[in-house]
Structure formats: structure tokens, C-alpha cells
Structure 1
Amino acid sequence: MKQILLASAMVLSGSAVLAGGSHSDGHGHGDMMTDGDADHHAEMMEIGRPSDPENVTRVIEIKMMETEDGDMIFEPSVLEITQGETIKFAIENIGEQEHEFVMDTMASVAEHKALMEEFPFMEHDDPNAVRLLPGEKAEIIWSFVNDGGFEFACLIPGHYESGMHGPLAVIKNPDS
């Protein structure tokens, strides 16, 4: 992901005005990878890998919104997953602003956040993220192969600071 983001940043630095897409299709949430692609991607992402619908062991509904107080939030605000689970995240933006759902290591979220601050209209196609306009829905199907502490967040400039982030704990499976 770092290579993709850095390459995007280099391309965008010379043409930031051209990168103003709507992201209405999100960050590639509709692209299905083959098992070979998913296995290759697992090597690159500590948090896990994209998966297929037939592997889903649980569905978690994620709502993205703003509060009357001006906070931006996810419901639920904390995610706990068992290592080895394949989760279907059913994500819906019920707010009045565009939001995104990105899950990754804390370091990668911080790095992605810094790039988004520099290039707020950056187009990218990450299997662990989706960007939605108000009223839109999407899904991410993800296998969590490693245990540990991760994070989910909205990295549109200002949204993280308004409260739109939370911990994603992947609990070690005692059977593995």
C-alpha cells in the first residue's frame, strides 16, 4: 500500500487539480480479487487480505455519520474480531457529508492520513477502504489472518480530528 500511495502522491504532485474525482465508486470495494491475488496481497498487508463472499463468517454493519454536536462518528465505534474470521463489512454513509472507511495498521493509517492532508482529492483503489457519498452503501469482505491492534478511520481531512476513528482489535484465535 505504501508504494501505491507514494506513487499516487508523486503523480498527483504535478497534477493535483486533475485528481478531483467524486470517489462515488469508493476505493475498489466492487473489485473482486482471485484467490491468487488475495494471497499475494496478504503478504503486503499486516491486517489481512480481501476475501470472497462464500468465506464470510460474520457480518458487521458500519454506519458513518455526523452528530448534532459536529462530531463525526462510526457506529460501532470499536471493532473486535477473532483471528481467522472473514468479515463482511456492510458500510453505509447515513451522514450529510462524504466519508470513508479505511482499516489498517495504526502506522499505515497515520501515513495515509498525512498523504490525504497533502492531496485531499487523491484517487486510490485500496481493497481495505471505501469512500461513500451521503446515502451510499458498500461492502468490504476481509479475512483477518493476523492478530493485533489495528485501526479504522475516515481520512478525509478534518474527519479523523472530529472523532471519526476507532480501534480494531484482532484477538488471537486459541485454536491457531
Structure 2
Amino acid sequence: MKTIKALMLASTLAFSNPGFAHGDEDHSAPSGPVRKEQKEWGIAGDAASATRKLEFRMTDNMRFAPERIQVKQGETVRLSIRNDGQVMHEFVLGTKKELDEHAALMMKFPGMEHSEPYMAHVPPGKTGEIVWTFNRAGDFDFACLIAGHYQAGMVGKVKVVAAARS
């Protein structure tokens, strides 16, 4: 009975949203317009509004370089994410709570794919990009949520410094 329920769940997930399957395909270039949805950590930005570019490297030792960044509240930043490893990696912005929840889901469904403006899936040797407006002050996170990578410590921190009040 458990096997039948598991198969029913798997087939439901497989056919209910065909956009959810991680693989080795290049997910770095979003297709269509970017969905702008306010998140705790900001909102998708417009490339023309980016005031600076930050470059990241991802490696198979399950680390990002740099592991910490600081931006100003209201700043739109172009994040360039290079995968210097031999396996697929991703860069996902979020809160620790959301990343924890998503990482747990990825462990259960390692083939899950997602395409949000705060995520970049980057094949080996390729570069992905996120343009993000950090419009809320606070401490946020980024991580690779591919099954096992987050658990191995592939995480980083974003400090968004509050805008000065006049």
C-alpha cells in the first residue's frame, strides 16, 4: 500500500507541475518576463538599474567565494555566479527558514526544478546571473539547495544595511 501511495504522489508531482525537475540543463537564463514578487529579502531588479556587479564562484568543495556580502538597502545588484566545479550548483537567495525548508524538500525530491528570479542553476563551467533589489534591511542568506550541498555547508550571508534617514 505504501508503494502505491508513493507512486501516486510521485506521478502527481511529476505531472502537476512539469517545471519542477532538477537536471543538468542550463537554467541560468530565465525565459519570459521576470516575475516580480516582494520577498523578505527584496524583489527582482531590472538589469538597467543595477548599480554594481558582484561576482561569486561555486566549487565542488561545497563553498561560495565570497561567503559574505554587504549591500545597501534599496541597492540593485547584478550577481554573477560562476560554477568552477564539475557538478551542477545553484545560488538561491532567501531567509534561513525558507532555505532550510526548501533544502529539506530537495532532499526528498532531488530532481525538483524551480525557476524564480532569486535563483540561478549553473552547470559546470558556466555562469548564471541574478539581478536583485535589496529593498529591505536585515540579515539574509544564500545557498546551493541541490540535495546534499546545503547540508555540506554550501551557504553564505547577505547583510543589507538600512538606508540612512534624513
Query: Which TM class, normalised by the smaller chain length?
Result: 0.7 to 0.9
Q: Structure 1 counterpart of 2:58, which letter?
A: M
Alignment CA distance shift 1:12-1:175 (3 Å): farther
Q: Which has the larger radius of gyration?
A: 2
Cα distance in structure 2, aligned partners of 1:122 and 1:27? 15
SS in 2 for 1:14: helix
Question: Deviation per CA, 1:124-173, whole angstroms, max 9, x where unpaired?
Answer: 11110011110111111000110111110001111112221011111111
Whether 1:26 aligns to 2:24 is no
Question: Deviation per CA, 1:96-135, whole angstroms, max 9, x where unpaired?
Answer: 1110000111111111111111111102111100111101
1:52 equivalent among 46, 49, 74: 46
Q: Is the 8 A contact 1:29 1:129 kept in 2?
A: no
Q: Structure 2 counterpart of 1:108, which letter?
A: E
Cα distance in structure 1, aligned partners of 2:118 and 2:133? 11
Residue 11 of structure 1, CA deviation? 7.1
SS in 1 for 2:114: coil
Alignment CA distance shift 1:25-1:152 (3 Å): same
Alignment CA distance shift 1:75-1:13 (3 Å): farther
Question: What TM-score do the two structures reach when normalised by structure 1?
Answer: 0.79
Question: What TM-score do the two structures reach when normalised by structure 2?
Answer: 0.83
Higher helix share: 1
C-alpha RMSD over aligned residues: 2.5
Alignment CA distance shift 1:98-1:146 (3 Å): same
* 4+ residue segments displaced more than 3 Å: 10-21, 27-32
- In the alignment, what sits opposite 1:149? 139
Alignment CA distance shift 1:31-1:101 (3 Å): farther
Residues 154-173 of structure 1: pairs in structure 2 closer than 5 A: 154-173=144-163
Residue 57 of structure 1, CA deviation? 0.7
Cα distance in structure 2, aligned partners of 1:53 and 1:117? 33
Cα distance in structure 2, aligned partners of 1:11 and 1:61? 39
Cα distance in structure 2, aligned partners of 1:174 and 1:60? 22
- In the alignment, what sits opposite 2:12? 14
Over the matched positions of the two proteins, sequence identity in percent amounts to 37
Cα distance in structure 2, aligned partners of 1:83 and 1:116? 30
2:91 equivalent among 101, 113, 130: 101
Residue 12 of structure 1, CA deviation? 5.0
Cα distance in structure 2, aligned partners of 1:147 and 1:13? 41
Cα distance in structure 2, aligned partners of 1:56 and 1:12? 41
Residue 21 of structure 1, CA deviation? 4.9
Runs (5+) with no aligned partner, structure 2: 1-7
Question: Deviation per CA, 1:9-33, whole angstroms, max 9, x where unpaired?
Answer: x975635598655252326645443
